[in-house]
Amino acid sequence: MKSIMPLQKREITSSRLILGCMGFGGGWNSDPITSEDILKAEKAIDAAQAIGITMFDHADIYTMGKAEKVFGEILNTRPSLRENMVIQSKCGIRFQDELGPQRYDFSKNHILSSVDAILGRLHTEYIDILLLHRPDPLIEPEVVAEAFEELKTSGKVRHFGVSNMSSAQIKLIEAYSSEQMIVNQLEMSLRRNDFVEQGILVNQKAGNSVNFADGIMEHSRLENIQLQAWSPLANGMYTGRKLDNLSEADLKTIELVEKMANEKNTTKEAIVLGWLMRHPASIQPVIGTTNPERISNCAEAVHQSEDMTREEWYSLFTSARGQKMP
C-alpha cells in the first residue's frame, strides 16, 4: 500500500526516510572536530543520498553542537548539496551549567539565539523546519509565537514543529501562533509499539516518551502532522546488535524478522522499518546510524512497507508485544 506523507503533501520533501545526525562530530564533549569526523559524516551523507534520502535531522545539542558543525563544514566545501536537502534542527534543551541544572527553555531569546547559532554552525541561511525539543513545563505559548513569527519573517526558518509532545501540547502552541506545527517526532518502533493500540498503553518502556493514549495518532492524521519516529530500529535489537536482558518475546521477534528477511530476500532493517512505515499515518523513520552499510541496508524499507500484508504486519506486532490482541 502506497501512502503519501504530510510533508510530501505540503511539497516539502518526498524522502520517506530521514538520516539522523546525532552521531556526527565525535563524542559528547568539547574536543575539536577532526578531519576523520568530517570524513565519517560525509560518507554517511553520501550513503543516505544513494538510497534516496534527502532529509537530515539535527539538534543544537547533538555532540555539543559538533554534529551541526561537521555537517556545515561539508556544506561549506560542497555547497551544491544544500539545494537538494531538507534540513531540520531542534532547540530548547539546555545542559547543566553555571546558571542551573539541565532544563528546557522555550523563551523567545533562547529560541532566537539558538537558531542563529544553528545557522552559523551549518553554514546555511535558513533551515527548513525547526522543532521544539521536548516539552517545556514553563512554556508561554504567546512568547513562542512571537519567536516563530520573527524567524519566519526573517527567512531563517520556513516551517515549525515539535518533538515528544502530546496533541494537547500542540494545540496549546497553535492557539497562539499563526504557524501550524507540521511535525511531531516521537519514539516509535516495533519494540516501542504502544502507538498502535488506541487508548491502551502496551509497553511504556521510556519514561520520557509520550503517552499515546491521548489520541495523538488520530490528531496527527486529522491535522496533517508529519509523524517522525526516533529510534525506529529499536537500538538495533532486531537487526543484529547484541543486547542483554532480552525477553522471550524479543528473542522470538528477532527470529521472525530474520525469517521474513530471508524469505523476501531483503535486509532485517528493511523489514523493521517497513513494519513501521506500513502504518497508515505515513510515519517517517529517522535512522540514526553513521555506518554506510547499515544505511544502505535500509534501502528497501519503502518497498517492504508497500509489500507487507496485514497478516505479516500483525504477526510482527503480536510477536513483539508478547501476547495476543486484547
Whether residue 313 lies inside any domain: the answer is no
Q: What is the CATH number of the domain that holds 159?
A: 3.20.20.100
Q: Average pLDDT for residues 119-125, to the nearest whole number?
A: 98
Residue 62 annotated as catalytic? yes
Q: What residue type is assigned to position 64 of the chain?
A: M
Task: Classify residue 115 as exposed, middle or buried by CB count within 10 Å of its CB (0-12, 13-18, 19+).
Answer: buried
Partnered with residue 185 across adjacent β-strands are 163, 228
Whether residue 72 lies inside any domain: the answer is yes
Q: Average pLDDT for residues 19-31, to the nearest whole number?
A: 97
What does the pLDDT read at residue 211?
62
Whether residue 65 lies inside any domain: the answer is yes
Out of 62, 126, 238, 314, pick the active-site residue: 62
Q: What 3-state DSSP class applies to 223?
A: coil
**pLDDT over threshold 50, residue 137:** yes
Per the listing, cell 528493511 goes with 270
Whether residue 301 lies inside any domain: the answer is no
Range of the domain at 106: 6-242+283-290
What does the pLDDT read at residue 242?
87
Whether residue 251 lies inside any domain: the answer is no
Kindly report the backbone phi and psi dihedral angles of residue 119, in degrees, each rounded to the nearest multiple of 5, phi listed first.
-60, -40
State pLDDT tens for residues 280-318. Answer: 999 999 999 999 999 999 999 999 999 999 999 999 999
Whether residue 100 lies inside any domain: the answer is yes
Contact at 8 Å (CB) between 133 and 61?
Answer: yes
What does the pLDDT read at residue 184?
97
State pLDDT tens for residues 37-95. Answer: 999 999 999 999 999 999 999 999 999 999 999 999 999 999 999 999 999 999 999 99
Cα–Cα nearest to 33, from 79, 61, 68: 68
Which grid cell is 138? 514553563
Q: What 3-state DSSP class applies to 16?
A: coil
Whether residue 96 lies inside any domain: the answer is yes
Number of domains in the chain: 1
User: Which element (helix H / strand E) includes 6?
Assistant: helix 6-9
Contact at 8 Å (CB) between 111 and 92?
Answer: yes
Q: Indicate left, alpha or beta for 191 from its phi (over 0: left) and psi (-120 to 50: alpha).
A: alpha
Whether residue 92 lies inside any domain: the answer is yes
